[in-house]
Structure 1
């Protein structure tokens, strides 16, 4: 079956590549975890259509993320010595600059996530360019950085998006679902590929834990799952990825999983992941890193993938 021209750049790889062995990660690590959080705050559809200004409850639900949950989450990451990537709408940076600066102070990466969480697939090329230009200006003015990563706020993008991102200096995306390893995206007219670090809905905390009655989002039946079941689901996804030597990234949200009771799920998950390294270290027959997990920011994963999967002439994605 042929692929429409506007989607051809999103093809992850050939059938031969799909059968290739698991990648070799740095220092002999068995698998990779790129822990990632979407710090959306109150941005999104309700802000874009203006209805959030008539709904204080929904606004405060979102603002809880940067205002309260983020600090708790950064403490956890510091205690476990795990780096993470935060995809942040620029509007959130404007309104909580000190909290966002704490992400960088903690040694983590901050990356693009639209200005007010726009659905990029609904925007034409000029509108997408405007969002990226405004976002870049905000990150530079408030944080002094120019991100090189992007996660589409809407879970999809249009035929112009990859070109707009490359023009804006973006060198990797974590938006698509085409594999459980990074892969390269090629844009017409661009010699340098973009790295895609695909996420998975199974590792989205909204699927299990989000609830709000008005607007009814996410719309479903039981919208808060058992915490034990949620942890078991996440653990099993990691175990499969680690067993096969793959790359796992998350779509977690501080306002959802950064609450006092739920953050214990993240603690257990990180301890379980890190426990793989302890098991490997206890086996004297294995070398350094064998069996353990490479925890890295999405930026570092993208750079490593470029270095090992394109020619030596490929430029880096460092900020």
Structure 2
């Protein structure tokens, strides 16, 4: 899905005349996903603990980095993770960051019936309110895709924006009927693409090594430089369990420091970006 009337020549406007926008985002997946959904994760303690490392250990490092630099972010959290690590997730809210929907157990939404999607959203809403006292307005599809009914279902639960699709490098109206704003993310800024490795199940399939940290940071910086030069909106697909480790946290630090050094950047949460896009009249431009 993408905007029905692309704004090819439109340069976005950002608050206080900032040149570009950065909406840092982290997917706090934990030990969720297909292995949990098919039950195999319970027979693979190594895989379970790899995921649990995210909320249990790595999240704190991410929050410390953001606090030290005075930068806020959005955390997309499967409700099962919040249910099992509630105190860690409460630290996200205490730090002034945004939490948003990311399924219950990181389900592939495009495979689910509309009824099941509603059930997951209902469960997730109840858990966010119970454990964090918030009702999220953002959503990132866990599977990177969804069914035609999903935007309307999200609107039923008060979701105002998504960060799931790839149709632009600026926010756009994803679904005219629901008014859902899309803040597109790109695989180039997914830490899984460079840093993830798991032996059994083999992920990424066929790879026997991870990328150079120096090359990875250089790639991320170049993505920001291009986005900043054109005055666009950049968001990330980072995962604490992947890039929140002692050696890799320097990559997150280096990227944020590079963006701060560039200056003239509006750092915002997903909901702030979506609200600005609507209130500034750019959603209909």
Q: 2:8 pairs with 18, 35, 45, which one?
A: 18
Measure how far apart 1:11 and its partner are.
2.5
How many angstroms apart in 1 are the aligned matches of 2:2 and 2:216?
Answer: 31
1:88 is displaced (CA, Å) by 0.2
Q: What whole-Å deviation, never above 9, does each CA across 1:161-193 have from its counterpart, x for those lacking one?
A: 011100111110000000000001225xx3x51
Contact kept? 1:197, 1:298, Cα under 8 Å: yes
Q: Does 1:34 align with 2:6?
A: no
Aligned equivalent of 2:254: 268
In structure 2, the residue matched to 1:71 is 60
Tell me the SS of whatever aligns to 1:178: coil
TM-score by length of 2: 0.97
Instruction: Tell me how far apart the structure 2 counterparts of residues 299 and 186 of structure 1 sit (CA, whole Å).
Output: 17
- From the CA coordinates, give the structure whose radius of gyration is larger: 1
Quote how far apart the aligned CAs of 1:223 are: 4.0
Alignment map for 1:77-92 (pairs within 5 Å): 77-92=66-81
Contact 1:210/1:223, CA 8 A, preserved across alignment? no
Note if contact 1:208-1:223 (Cα within 8 Å) is conserved in structure 2: no
Q: Confirm whether residue 128 of structure 1 aligns to residue 117 of structure 2.
A: yes
Secondary structure, in 3 states, of the residue corresponding to 2:280? helix
**Residue 220 of structure 1: how far off its partner (Å):** 3.6
Give the CA RMSD over aligned residues.
1.3
| C-alpha distance in 2 between matches for 1:251 and 1:261 | 19
Q: 1-side partners of 2:209 and 2:89: how far apart? A: 29
CA distance in 2, matches of 1:173, 1:97: 24
Do structure 1's residue 295 and structure 2's residue 255 form an aligned pair? Answer: no
1:229 counterpart (212, 215, 236): 215
Q: How many residues align?
A: 284
Report SS of the residue matched to 2:21. strand
2:189 equivalent to 1:203? yes
Measured after TM superposition, the shift of residue 221 of structure 1 is 2.3
Equivalences for residues 135-284 of structure 1 within 5 A: 135-187=124-176, 190=177, 192-277=178-263
Match of 1:282 in 2: none
| Secondary structure of the structure 2 residue equivalent to 1:65 | helix
The reply on whether 1:307 has 2:279 as its aligned counterpart is: yes
Preserved contact between residue 211 and residue 224 of structure 1 (Cα < 8 Å): yes
Q: Which runs of 5+ in 2 are unaligned?
A: none
Q: TM-score, normalised by structure 1?
A: 0.87
State the Cα distance separating 1:309 from its structure 2 match: 2.7
3-state SS in 2 of match to 1:212: coil
Q: In the alignment, which of 90, 100, 103 is matched to residue 114 of structure 1?
A: 103
Q: Tell whether the 8 Å contact from 1:109 to 1:297 is kept in structure 2 after alignment.
A: yes
Q: Which runs of 5+ in 1 are unaligned?
A: 1-9, 278-291, 313-319
